[in-house]
Structure 1
C-alpha cells in the first residue's frame, strides 16, 4: 500500500476517542498505534543512568495523550533568556496589554490570542537569528550576545509565557475603573499601578500553595497547556512536510488580513452587518418584533452576525458538546425565560427593563446609588429608607440564582463523576515526600533548579504590605481585617478549584459567593470595598490558576522553572503600567458610554463589566444581604443552592440507569455557568457561533480530522488576531486624539443599524 493511500485509509478509519465528561476539551486522535517501544526512537538513556526498561517505564507513566503531543527528550544547553527574548517579549506584552485592556471595557471582543504570539514570535525570532550579528555586548556589569545562535524552542516558550502573564487585563482594573467611572474618584497613578501589581502578584504567591499538588502529577494534564504545546509542535514542523508548513503560514496571514480589513465594516463603516435582525426586515416598525429580533438590546431571536467579535475563536477551541450546552443555556435564558418574564410580568418582569443590567428603584427609575454612601464610604440609612431597596431586571435575578447553583454544582459534579481520580491523586500526594514522581517529564525536569519557596513568600509579604498601606491611604473603603480574611479564603480555594481546572480546563466562578461573605462581614460599606475583597478572595486564585497553567507549559517544554517564573514577573512589570495608561485613555474618551449617560449605537462601549461589578458591590457591600433578602423578590434566589446540589445528582442517576444515553455529557456546571451570562447588550452572536461550532468542532473534527489538526487552531488564532488589531487600529485612528464619526448612510443608520425602529421596552 502506498504511503498516500495508507494515510487516506488511516484518516477514514480513525476513531475519535470518547470525551471525558469532566473535561470540556477536544481530545486529540491517537497517532500512536504500536508498542511503547515505538516511542523510544531518538531517545537515549541519560548517560547510563536509566536502563532501557527504566526509560520505557518512565515514559509509560506519562498519559498517552501527553506522549502524543509532548517531546520525551530535552536539550538543557538551549538558550533561554536572550537579547531576542527581551525584545520580542516586550513587543508582545505591550501590544497585548493595550488590546486586552480595551477589550475589558467592550461588550464583546476577542481576547489577545496566545496562539498569535506563538506563531508570530516564532517567525520573528528566526528572522532575528538570521540577521543579527553574533556580537557580544559588554555593559560592564552585564554581558550578553546579540545572537547566540539559532532561535531555540525555549526562547520561544518564554516569550509566550511572558506575554501570557503581562499582555492581559489585570485584577486591579475592577477597583480603579469603578471608582473613576461611577464615583469620579481617580486614584494617584503610582497608587493605581502598585495596586494592580499587588493584586496580580498575590495570585502568583497563591500559586506556591498549589504547585506541588497540581503541577507535577503527570495525570493532571492541564488540557489548555496541551493545546499550546500542540501548536509549538506544529510550528516546528514535527511530523509534517515543509510544503505543509509553508501552506499553513500562507493560510494564517490570509485569514489575519481578511479579518483585519473586514472588521472595519461591522465595527465602523457598515455596522448593519454586525447584527442581522432578520425578523425586523419584515416588520421594521413593530415594537414586539424589535424586542424579539434585535440583537442590540433585544432577544436576538433568529439573529445572525458577520462580526467576528461576536463569535471569536471559542468555537474552534471548545468541544462540540460544550458548545451545545452553552447554546441550550442561551436559548433557555434569552429565548424562553426572557419573553416569559417580559410578556407575562412574572417575577416583576414588567417592573424593570428586562434587558438592562442597571439598578432601579421600586418605581422603575434608575437608582441614585452615589447618594447611598457618605464621604467615609458608610451607608446612609436615612437615604436608603428614602429610596428603598435596590432592584434589578428579572434577567439579572436568575443570573444570580444560577450563580449560586454553579459553585455547588462544580463540587458535586466532580465528586460524582471524578471521585475515583480525586482519591487516587490524594493517595499519591500523601506519599509525595517519600516517592517523587518518576515519569519521564519529571525526570527530565529534575535537572533544573526549582523556584525556592522563599521567592514566593517574599513576593507575598511585599504584596500584603502594599495592600495594607493602600487600604489605609487610598480610600479603598474596606476594613483591613476583611482583607486578611479574604487573603486566607483565597489561598484555601487554590487547590480544590485548581484541581477542577487542571482536569477539566473549566474555571468555576466564585464571585457571587465572595460578595455574599463580605456582605455579611461588613454590611453598609462602600461598594468599592466589596470589590477589593472580591479581587483578593476570588480573582487572585484565577490568576494563580493561569500562572500554574503557564508553568505547566514550561514543564511540558522542559524550560527551567526559574526562567519561567522570572518571565512571568517580567510580563507584569511591563504590562501593568500599559494597562493603567489604557484605562485612563478609555475612560477619558468613552466615559459617557461607560457610565450610561449616553448609549453607544453598536452596544459595544456599554461598560458592561464595570457596571456588573458595581451592581454586586452595591447589593452585597452597601445594602448588604440581610437587607437585600428581606425583600420577597430576592427570596427565590436561595433555591439556587439546592439546584446546584440536586441537578448533578439527578444527572448522575440518569447516567447510571442509562449509561449509553450519555447523560454524563450534560454538565450541569457548564449549563448553570452559561445561564449566568448577561446578553442584554449584545445577543446577536450565539446563533452564528453554534453554526460555526458545528462546522469546526463537529464536522471537521470528526470527518476531516487531519485538516482540523493542521488548520483549526491556526485559523482561530489568525481570526482573533486580525480582529484585535483592527479594533486597536479603529480606536487609534478614529477615537483617540480626535473622534471621527462614520457618516450616516443606509448601512449606518443612526436610529437603528439593524433596521429595527420600534421601541424594545
Structure 2
C-alpha cells in the first residue's frame, strides 16, 4: 500500500453534506451509479482525497480498528486496494510489448498443445503474473538503461507495464471454443476449413464477447459496487510487489514466505501422498461398497460427492474461499447442501432409471446401461429416424440429467434476479444499446475518479467492433458450411447478449464464475429445435452462444483490473485486442500442425501417452447428443421433458423473493438470497473431484466472517495477499509437476506404490469408480 503523504482534509462542510446524503438513502451509497445526485466533480475529488487519507492511516498503522473493518464492496475497493496513480509511469513501452506478446505466444501455444494432451493443463493468471514479474525484474537489472538502451530498458519494471503485459498475455492464454469446432469438423466430418475462414471464425466468436463487455463497462466496471471479487487478489498482488518497497515490506515478506512454503508442500499431496487430496474416514474403513464411495468418496474424477471428506491439497481448494464474498458463499453452500439430498434422491429413487447407469457420468447410455452408439443414428452426419428406431432411445445418468435441470433453473433465475435486483446498476447498459442516448452517467467510485484524467474508450468503438464481428460471423458461417443460417445466429446472439449481461453482473457483484458446460448445453438445446438433427450447426450454436459470455466475463474482469492499476483505458483496449488476435492466430497454427501430424492418435479412443483427442471427442459427442437426439430426449412426453421447462420455472423463483423483499426491504436474508446461485450449486457435485468442498466451505466462513469481523486489521492487510501467494505457489509448482512428472510433455513418472498412493483404489482409498 502507498505511504505517500496525503494533503490534509479540506472543505469540511462538503464532508458533512456528503455524510448526510449518504445516511439519507441506502440507494445513494458510495460505489453506486447515479444520474442525478453528486454531480459536482469537487465532491468526487473530495471523496478521493478522503480515501487517500484513509489509505495512509491504514498503511502507517495509525487507523482505528473500525477503519480496518471491511463491510461491503466499497470497503474492499478503498481499504484493501490503493487508489494511488503514478501518472508519469510509462505504460506502452518496448519492454511491455515484448513481454506481453512473448507470454501471449507462450500461453496460447501451451493452451492449444494441452487441449490435445492426455493431461489437460490450463495457463493460470497467477502463474503468468509471477512469471512476468520475474522476467520483467530480470530485464530491468540485466539490460543497460543508459543512452540508446533507454528505449529497450526504460528503468524500473513498473506496475502499469506489468499489468498491461499480464492482461495481454492472459487474454491470449486459452484454447478458444472455436478451435473445438474447427478441429472436430476436420477430424470427424472431413470438412477442413479454409485458413481464412477458420481465423475469422476464431476472431468473430471472441470479439463479439469483447464488444458485449465494452457495452457493459459503464455498468459493471466503473462503480465500486461491481468490485469483481476474482480480481481483488491479483490487484493486491500487483500493488504489494510494486508499491510495498520490496522485501523490506512485511506484506511482501509474508507473500514470498507463503509462496515458497506452499510451493514445496504441494509436491506431497499432488505426487507423493495423494490421500491428502481427500481424507475420508468412511473410505479408510470400507473400500468395498459402491454406496460408501458414491456418498463419501470424491478424490478421483466422477467418484462421489465427498460428504464429510477433508482436503489438504490447495490445488483443489484454491483461494476462492478467501476472496469470494460471504453471502455468495452462503448461497453456494445452501446449493451444495441441496446437492447431497437431490443427487441421492434421483439415483437411489431410480428416477429416470438411474440405477441402471453409473452414479456419476457424462456419457450417454442405452437402456441396458451400455454406452450409446451415437454414430449409428447418423446418415451423412445428420439424424436418421429409421436408424434411431433400430438403435432405440438414449439416456443420461440420473445425476447428469439432474444437472441439466438445475442448470436451466439457474439460468432463468439468474437472468430475472439481475433484472429485478440490479436494475439500477444495469441502467447504463440499456442506455448503451441506444446509439442516440445522450444521458451522462455519474459514478461514485474513488478508483474511477482517479482514472478521469485518462480518455475513455468511446462507446462507438465497441459498437463498431460488434458490427464487424457480427459480419465476420455471418460470412464464415456460410462459407464454412456450418448449416447455421443468418437468423439462427442472430437469435442466438441476442439471447447470448442478455445472459452475458446477467452472468457478468453476478460475477461483478458476487464473484460468481459461470460454467461454460452449462451454457454449451443450454444453447445446444435451443439449437436442437432451431436446426434439428444437425450436429455441426449445433456446435456453432454452442460456440456463438457461450463464447461471448465466457469472453465477456474474462474481459470485463481485466477492464476492472486495469481500473485498479490505473492503466489508461485505451491502452487496456489495445492490449486486449492484441492478445485476442495473437491468441487466435497461434491457436489455429498449433491446431493445424497437431491435427495434421497426429491425426491417427487423435482419432483413437485411448490416444497415445503424448497425444489424445479426448476433448475433441467429447465436444463432438455432445454435438451429436444434443444436435441429433435433442428432440427425441427433451420434447414434451419424452424422458427429459423437464429440462427445457426448468428454464421457465427458474425465471419465476426470483419473482417470489423480490415480492417478499419489497414487503420487508430491510430483511437481510431477502436482500442477499440469490436463487440463481443456489440452483447453480444444487447439482454442483455431479462431476469432477469433490473432496475440497467441505474444507472450502469452512475456510470461507473463517476468512470472510470470523477473521473479517474479529480481526479486521489482519484481514485488510493480509487476507488477499496470502490468497494470492497460496494460488501463485500452487500454480507454479503444478505447472512444473505437469511438465516433469505427470506426463504432459513426455513420459509420466508415477510415485512408487505405497499405502498413501495405492493404485487399486481412488486417491482417497475409496472403491475405484467404474471406468
TM range (shorter): 0.7 to 0.9
Deviates more, 1:175-184 or 1:394-403: 175-184
- Say if 2:564 is the partner of 1:564: no
Match of 1:316 among 308, 322, 325: 322
1:115 and 1:231 in contact (8 A); partners too: no
- Note the alpha carbon deviations across 1:531-551, whole angstroms, 9 max, x for none: 221221232133134323322
Match of 1:403 among 390, 407, 417: 407
1:305 and 1:684 in contact (8 A); partners too: yes
**Are residues 727 and 36 of structure 1, via their aligned partners in 2, closer, same or farther at CA, if it must alter by over 3 Å?**
closer
Measure, in 1, the Cα distance between the counterparts of 2:338 and 2:603: 29
Match of 2:136 among 115, 125, 139: 125
Map of 2:765 onto structure 1: 755
Deviates more, 1:318-327 or 1:90-99: 90-99
Match of 2:356 among 347, 351, 370: 351
Deviates more, 1:511-520 or 1:563-572: 511-520
- Note the alpha carbon deviations across 1:661-712, whole angstroms, 9 max, x for none: 6243332111111125353342222122223323333332232332233333
Match of 1:156 among 162, 167, 184: 162
1:74 and 1:444 in contact (8 A); partners too: yes
- Say if 2:711 is the partner of 1:713: no
Match of 1:686 among 693, 717, 721: 693
Map of 1:618 onto structure 2: 624
Map of 2:539 onto structure 1: 531
Deviates more, 1:115-124 or 1:546-555: 115-124
Measure, in 1, the Cα distance between the counterparts of 2:185 and 2:715: 46
- Note the alpha carbon deviations across 1:575-605, whole angstroms, 9 max, x for none: 34555677799999999999875999xxxx9
- Say if 2:261 is the partner of 1:255: no
Deviates more, 1:363-372 or 1:614-623: 614-623
**Are residues 316 and 576 of structure 1, via their aligned partners in 2, closer, same or farther at CA, if it must alter by over 3 Å?**
farther
1:213 and 1:429 in contact (8 A); partners too: no
1:110 and 1:723 in contact (8 A); partners too: no
Map of 1:674 onto structure 2: 681
- Say if 2:650 is the partner of 1:644: yes
**Are residues 576 and 336 of structure 1, via their aligned partners in 2, closer, same or farther at CA, if it must alter by over 3 Å?**
same
- Say if 2:510 is the partner of 1:521: no
- Say if 2:581 is the partner of 1:550: no
Measure, in 1, the Cα distance between the counterparts of 2:690 and 2:443: 50
- Say if 2:59 is the partner of 1:81: no
How many angstroms does 1:639 deviate by? 4.9
Trace 1:349-428 onto structure 2 (pairs within 5 A). 349-375=354-380, 377-419=381-423
How many angstroms does 1:713 deviate by? 2.5
How many angstroms does 1:380 deviate by? 1.8
- Note the alpha carbon deviations across 1:381-405, whole angstroms, 9 max, x for none: 2222222232101111111111221
Map of 1:730 onto structure 2: 737
1:315 and 1:693 in contact (8 A); partners too: yes
- Note the alpha carbon deviations across 1:156-201, whole angstroms, 9 max, x for none: 2212221331223433244246557877988788865554333222
Deviates more, 1:578-587 or 1:475-484: 578-587
Measure, in 2, the Cα distance between the counterparts of 1:498 and 1:731: 32
How many angstroms does 1:253 deviate by? 3.3
Match of 1:745 among 735, 740, 754: 754
SS at structure 1 position matched to 2:702: helix
- Note the alpha carbon deviations across 1:407-454, whole angstroms, 9 max, x for none: 221233234434455569879999962546486766665554444667
Measure, in 2, the Cα distance between the counterparts of 1:642 and 1:758: 39
1:201 and 1:459 in contact (8 A); partners too: yes
Measure, in 1, the Cα distance between the counterparts of 2:572 and 2:578: 10
**Are residues 260 and 380 of structure 1, via their aligned partners in 2, closer, same or farther at CA, if it must alter by over 3 Å?**
farther
Match of 2:635 among 605, 629, 632: 629
Measure, in 1, the Cα distance between the counterparts of 2:127 and 2:608: 33
Match of 2:548 among 540, 548, 555: 540
1:107 and 1:682 in contact (8 A); partners too: no
Measure, in 2, the Cα distance between the counterparts of 1:469 and 1:110: 33
2:304 and 2:360 in contact (8 A); partners too: yes
Note the residue ranges of structure 2 that are not aligned, 5 or more in a row: 1-22, 32-45, 55-72
Deviates more, 1:274-283 or 1:577-586: 577-586
SS at structure 2 position matched to 1:662: helix
Map of 2:61 onto structure 1: none
Measure, in 2, the Cα distance between the counterparts of 1:79 and 1:536: 37
**Are residues 354 and 519 of structure 1, via their aligned partners in 2, closer, same or farther at CA, if it must alter by over 3 Å?**
same
1:498 and 1:545 in contact (8 A); partners too: yes
How many angstroms does 1:364 deviate by? 1.8
1:99 and 1:724 in contact (8 A); partners too: no
How many angstroms does 1:356 deviate by? 0.9
Trace 1:14-163 onto structure 2 (pairs within 5 A). 36=47, 39=50, 66-68=77-79, 74=85, 76-94=87-105, 96-97=107-108, 112-115=123-126, 117-118=128-129, 121-122=132-133, 124-135=135-146, 145-163=151-169
How many angstroms does 1:145 deviate by? 0.2
2:229 and 2:325 in contact (8 A); partners too: no
The number of aligned residues is: 699
Trace 1:190-201 onto structure 2 (pairs within 5 A). 195-201=201-207
How many angstroms does 1:483 deviate by? 3.0
**Are residues 646 and 478 of structure 1, via their aligned partners in 2, closer, same or farther at CA, if it must alter by over 3 Å?**
closer
Measure, in 2, the Cα distance between the counterparts of 1:498 and 1:452: 21
- Note the alpha carbon deviations across 1:508-557, whole angstroms, 9 max, x for none: 5644442333222101101x421221221232133134323322333444
How many angstroms does 1:80 deviate by? 0.9
SS at structure 2 position matched to 1:679: coil
- Say if 2:280 is the partner of 1:291: no
2:325 and 2:511 in contact (8 A); partners too: no
SS at structure 2 position matched to 1:354: coil
Measure, in 2, the Cα distance between the counterparts of 1:491 and 1:749: 49
Map of 1:267 onto structure 2: 270
How many angstroms does 1:314 deviate by? 1.4
Map of 1:202 onto structure 2: 208
Map of 1:52 onto structure 2: none
Map of 1:338 onto structure 2: 343
Measure, in 1, the Cα distance between the counterparts of 2:284 and 2:418: 47
Measure, in 2, the Cα distance between the counterparts of 1:367 and 1:76: 62
**Are residues 245 and 524 of structure 1, via their aligned partners in 2, closer, same or farther at CA, if it must alter by over 3 Å?**
farther
How many angstroms does 1:279 deviate by? 1.0
SS at structure 2 position matched to 1:648: helix
1:119 and 1:235 in contact (8 A); partners too: no
1:181 and 1:591 in contact (8 A); partners too: no
How many angstroms does 1:562 deviate by? 2.3
**Are residues 278 and 418 of structure 1, via their aligned partners in 2, closer, same or farther at CA, if it must alter by over 3 Å?**
same
- Note the alpha carbon deviations across 1:76-104, whole angstroms, 9 max, x for none: 43211112213432454355446766887
**Are residues 625 and 137 of structure 1, via their aligned partners in 2, closer, same or farther at CA, if it must alter by over 3 Å?**
farther
- What's the C-alpha RMSD, in Å, of the aligned pairs? 4.6
2:240 and 2:252 in contact (8 A); partners too: no
How many angstroms does 1:564 deviate by? 1.2
Deviates more, 1:288-297 or 1:172-181: 172-181
2:633 and 2:641 in contact (8 A); partners too: no
**Are residues 732 and 121 of structure 1, via their aligned partners in 2, closer, same or farther at CA, if it must alter by over 3 Å?**
closer
How many angstroms does 1:223 deviate by? 4.9
How many angstroms does 1:352 deviate by? 1.9
2:343 and 2:402 in contact (8 A); partners too: no
